[in-house]
Structure 1
């Protein structure tokens, strides 16, 4: 039975060590898995996928918060339920009320009943408890998804405010020269990349802008720095 701490950051400005510290404080024996993939869905998160392939019944995965597992409520709940039925324990430090162990205890602490219809009654109790679990878990994932949407909206509003105040977006202070290609690439990043409220992943943005990975992250950093 192993304990894994899964840590993920979704932007270059986040510090993954905060999550690592929180998990190791609560679970000092946990094996830390780091993920720096930028995105909002758990598909495509290579380190998480590798972890899901090697966990066994009785193992535990610890998250700093539910948003580190998934920010999409439907997919997040599907993964939660899948791991629950595989007997893999899930721990969320900031949302302990949806830890899998909470519902396992509720489903096993049943009143002893006798009679011909005991199995039917217990099935009904289990179904009711699982429905309560579903509701609470969905609420937690929906809140995480809402926080992402709100962040994207605040980013768009901040960009618009900067533009209205005459601040040049995409042109870092102190720069003496900017090519037409880099300017066009930054505009694509600003309009379409998920970090700035768009819908494209980093890889998709690179392809659309026709730039290398190195240039992409350089331009992205310059855009963030210019918005501060």
Structure 2
């Protein structure tokens, strides 16, 4: 029996350190830890695919938490079935469950449904929060770096769009866009 580990975070800004540390403490060798920095809503993950090719019958895959392997119930069931067909068990360290037996597979299926429902609730709350913020006038996206007042002042001096763009080191189309935005207000 060989131990493998799998760790995943959703974005490149997040850290895998805590998961990797837990996997090493559980006895997984560093060269057998596979990591992805991508959403768990899809099983199309480079390192997960590599892990699936490396494991053999009798191997065990350790994952810190159920949600790290995946968020979608159907995908989780599919993954667990694929590993089971290979004779590979998956154990979730923090959740204290394993796919070793029928009961373990059932518990994982139920918990993955809960994880998917939680993901859906998070998305709904996020969207509701964004809509509320928009109604309050909060703007999303990058902060403006163009001095609009300076642009409009130059326009008052009867300078053309090309000259304003050159002076402010911006695209001429941006000059037109800002002028249109101002007319709309």
- TM-score, normalisation: structure 1: 0.57
CA distance in 2, matches of 1:28, 1:12: 23
Structure 1: tracts of 5 or more residues without a match: 104-129, 179-228
CA distance in 2, matches of 1:167, 1:150: 23
* Contact 1:162 1:169 survives alignment (8 Å): no
Decide whether aligned partners of structure 1 residues 79 and 40 sit closer, same or farther in structure 2, where only a CA change above 3 A counts. Answer: same
Give the equivalent residue in structure 1 for 2:106: 135
* Contact 2:7 2:19 survives alignment (8 Å): yes
1:162-177 equivalences in 2 (<5 Å):
162-172=133-143, 175-177=144-146
Measured after TM superposition, the shift of residue 62 of structure 1 is 0.9
SS at structure 2 position matched to 1:34: strand
* Contact 1:41 1:70 survives alignment (8 Å): yes
Give the equivalent residue in structure 1 for 2:37: 36
CA distance in 2, matches of 1:167, 1:83: 47
Please give the per-residue CA displacement for 1:148-200, whole angstroms capped at 9, x wherever unaligned. 1122112212212221222111132xx3239xxxxxxxxxxxxxxxxxxxxxx
CA distance in 2, matches of 1:100, 1:135: 8
CA distance in 2, matches of 1:39, 1:69: 7
Give the equivalent residue in structure 1 for 2:99: 100
Measured after TM superposition, the shift of residue 28 of structure 1 is 4.7
Give the equivalent residue in structure 1 for 2:20: 20
Off by >4 Å, runs of 4+ in structure 1: none
CA RMSD across the alignment: 2.1
1:59-208 equivalences in 2 (<5 Å):
59-97=59-97, 99-101=98-100, 103=101, 130=102, 132-172=103-143, 175-177=144-146
Number of residue pairs matched by the alignment: 146
CA distance in 2, matches of 1:35, 1:147: 21
Measured after TM superposition, the shift of residue 4 of structure 1 is 1.4
Structure 2: tracts of 5 or more residues without a match: 148-185
SS at structure 2 position matched to 1:33: strand
Decide whether aligned partners of structure 1 residues 84 and 177 sit closer, same or farther in structure 2, where only a CA change above 3 A counts. Answer: same
Please give the per-residue CA displacement for 1:35-65, whole angstroms capped at 9, x wherever unaligned. 11235111x2111011101111121111111
Instruction: Name which one, 1 or 2, has greater alpha-carbon Rg.
Output: 2
SS at structure 1 position matched to 2:70: coil
Does the alignment pair 1:51 with 2:34? no
Give the equivalent residue in structure 2 for 1:120: none
